[in-house]
Structure 1
Amino acid sequence: MKAVAYYRRSTNIQENSIEMQRQMARNASYQKALLIDEEFIDDAVSGRKKTIQEREGLSSMLSKIESGEITDVFVYKRDRLARNALDYLQIFQLLKEKQVKVHFTAENEIPIQYSPAGELIELLMAGIIQREGEQIVERISETIKANFQRGKNPGNLPFGYEFDKLTKTISRDVEKLSVVKSIFDAVNSNDFKTMRQLTDYLKDNNIQRDEKPWSSQMARNVLSNPTYMGIRLLNLSGEVLKSRYDALAIVTESEWLTAQEALEVLTSKRKPVEKEKVTFHLENLVFCKQCNEPLQPKKGMKNKESIHYYSCRTHQIKLIKSELENQVLDSCKQFFQELLKTHLPDFHQRRRNEMSKTLENQIDEMEQNLHKLNQRLERKIEKWLNENRQFKKEKLEADLLNLLQQIADEKERIHFIEKEMIELTQTIEFPSDNLDIHESTMRVYFRDIISKIEVEEHMMNIEFKHPFLSTKEVLHTRVS
């Protein structure tokens, strides 16, 4: 068991430095005669944008609290733990569960109390903390907007410009901007089809960037930046600000728009040619009788047209895919019709009746259990109404929630079984002689009723998933 300290400094607010928080924690620990055994630090980490898991120091400390290693925590203020209300409440619940003593080192920070009134205070504080964080962000955002509009902070400048923080002015690099102008001229005066053609042109004409060739991405970034026509854009949390800087323009608005049209052509992706998708429905079902190896799906050419076939290279078997599958399908239909002439429909109905009876018994058991749960619920509610002790009332509330969840689950299970029973009562229509199998379901259909297909030079043997039925046929399908 040990005492620890946690320090955090925000990414966008430089107040309350780590060193200041450390000194405050040490002073407080001296006053309470506690030795700080370990420090957890998140430097330049936002408590609003980062999740608990993304904050290494906080996550590590909470893990040790959960394992029972920590008894006391020194921290400057609540907002150091979290700026997000839900994150803060999650941390508070863990501190409460482990009864960790939290020592705030800032003046006027209300101490944490693990009581019903204390929980209400922490709930209110969580909302205040989050709102304070949001107000800070709003103030910073407004300052950034104002500085951008006044030209005090133009944001990240593109190739050819630099910002002097002392004079608050933007300087132009004439040599670099002449290179950029050459790129705009090249795009607007040539009929390039791809970015590769553009970069090759720049390389051939020795138009370089800092003595290096232009890549496609670098050229694209330059051509698409409106700064070169005197307009600066700033994307601030989804809001796009626009400001004119006419002194920065090296191309006219018309020239820039023409370049955008050309850039759209250069960066448009060609649609990939869709390959023909062929499904071999009998794959791993059809075998060579001699070697007992599955026939492999293959693609070839016949009379200058592509064909698909099943092949055993060892024994020179090549069977055209479509003809073999159609022949097998005809055999499957015949097999199914033979089944219908047996006692299959009667057997199926008996099986449905048995399943229906089983489901009825399950519903009876569940309804009895549901009745018992409701009786327990009534007794618990009565106890809760008559209970005056707060800790007992809280325990009963937890039991009530658990019972309500059990009742809901049991009702859901009953509803599910009732749906199954309705499906069992629906009339089953067995297929007629004109059994239609769609191409998309053929693979599943074959695997449902076929165990194995063996082929040799002129014969095919189909073993169905029925102990007494199989069929032998003469093979007509072959690749010459």
Structure 2
Amino acid sequence: MKTVAYYRSSIDSQENSIEMQQNSVLTCSIDMALIIDEEYIDEAVSARKVSLKKRPALQKLLQDINNNYVGTLFLFKRDRIARNVMEYYEIYQILRNKKINVIFTAPNEPPVYYTPIGEYLELIMAGMAQREGEQIIERLKQTLKSNFQSGKNPGRLPYGFKWNKETKEIELVDEQVQIVKRIYQELVSEKYESLKELCSVLGLKENGKSWTSADIRKIALNPTYIGLRTMNIFGEDVTSKYERLSIIDRNTWEKACSIVTVLSPQKTHQDYVFEQVLFPLQDLLICSKCNESLQKIKARRKENLKYKCLNHSSVYVFKSTIEPLVFERCKEYFHSLLTAHFHELFDRYEQNAKKQVKQKIQTIEEKVQLMNEKLITKVDTWYHETDAPYKEQKEIEIMALYDELAKYKKQKEQVIQELSDVKQLREKISNYQSSMSLSYDEIKENRQLGSFFQDLIQQVKTDGKNCEIIFKHPFLRTQEVLTS
């Protein structure tokens, strides 16, 4: 999606000119290494006097946002898009629903928060001057902290508690509290080898759904049950004591935390960098159903990486299965070439290849000679021409001929390289002999493995269960069953 900027200047004010806003956005975008794809400008338009529906640039921006064309929006200040509270609130709702990343470039302009508190803040700030913004946020922070610490706003309560809107008090849900206590008792008994066992013992929740390991972990690690609450207020974690919520003693809670961490360790990110993994069979593996290339697919664990057809979900092969198999068959094939009249076979191949390359070179040289003759004629005509328009036309024709000549010369260079490649192929194959004693595990991280496969294999067709390896020089094939 696009990164865009919106600017608005007033009729009677030069304080926030379009140029000033553009310079501010440009500086900020450079610092953030972002490129502005499009600018929307409403010049000499009063946000107080002209409704948002009569501002063409703003309407175009909102339309593009609703069409999911925009991802990031640069603004100088909030008051550039609206000064009317209701209009600003309408725009804010659109930005929030589409999760637009809004970046303000004016100094001290507070960021946008897409939260209930943020919505309240945006409503307040819509009618306030920029210099009051930070004071509002700070006052709001202090109010939220005070309410949280005094118990007036405990935040989202965990399983076992509920908020009574009438009494403004936290209440215990007896049935749920008993289940929470049982969970802690079962955990500290140390009779379970996994959280799944405990889930089966607990049975169903009130909503008829089964308990999950994630449910148990969430309850066991929550300090609310020992009377401690934490709330994130504008990026700051605030902790407060709620002793009346304590239903588990600290020793039991700490022991349960330790046990649940062992039984269900927190999932870590994949232990490898996908972009750094080599897929040497990329573009060689072909789906036998649609003849499309299999694509490399991410996995949480490296051993589960696979090649998969995007058109047929059942057609996939694990990287750890297909690559060693193909490598071993390549070794066998290569060995058979070296032991079964390979040199005689290669001499014949090399002779035919050189013949074809030389024919290509001869054809290109004939075209180059013809182009040179045309150029000489054109240049001579241009030199003696006195009519200016006609002479200009000849110049255009000469430049076109030069471009065509350069194209043929480049083709000749490419064909000469083909001839060089043919001459080097025998040496390359001889060098491969030293690799034949290596195992796949010894060579799998070598970037040359991809070149090795490319040189020997035409393609590998598979339906996910079987594979057919088609070799080059000469065209041979072998069929395999993928037992895994």
Range class of TM-score, shorter chain: 0.3 to 0.5
> Which of structures 1 and 2 has the bigger CA Rg?
1
TM-score by length of 1: 0.40
